[in-house]
Amino acid sequence: MNKSCPVNRRFLFLAVSRDGVPGKPHREEIIATSEQEARARLAGRFILCFAGRLPADATHHKGEG
């Protein structure tokens, strides 16, 4: 039986703070093994809208020019 380790992914959310102060939506990024885990870790502080999932080791490459 093949038991593999959980795969970490980078989850992106559009978030608004729950602190009661009106604020602009912003991006929150977190490394987790599932969307459910990512939401659980952020939901106490933010109202969340899923925006994307990437490999945890993905890097952003700027265009040349």
Global pTM reads 0.77
Q: Which helix (H) or strand (E) holds 38?
A: helix 35-42
What total of structural domains would you count in the chain?
1
Residue 29: which of 59, 6, 62 has the closest Cα?
A: 59
In a domain, 17, yes or no: yes
In a domain, 32, yes or no: yes
pLDDT value at residue 6: 82
Q: Is residue 6 within 8 Å of residue 56, measured between CB atoms? A: no
Number of residues that make up the chain = 65
In a domain, 2, yes or no: no
Q: Which two tokens stand for residue 6?
A: 């959980």
* Residue type present at position 13: F
Helix (H, G, I), strand (E, B) or coil at 42: helix
pLDDT along the chain (65 residues), means of 10: 80 94 92 98 97 85 51
Domain span at residue 14 reads 9-55
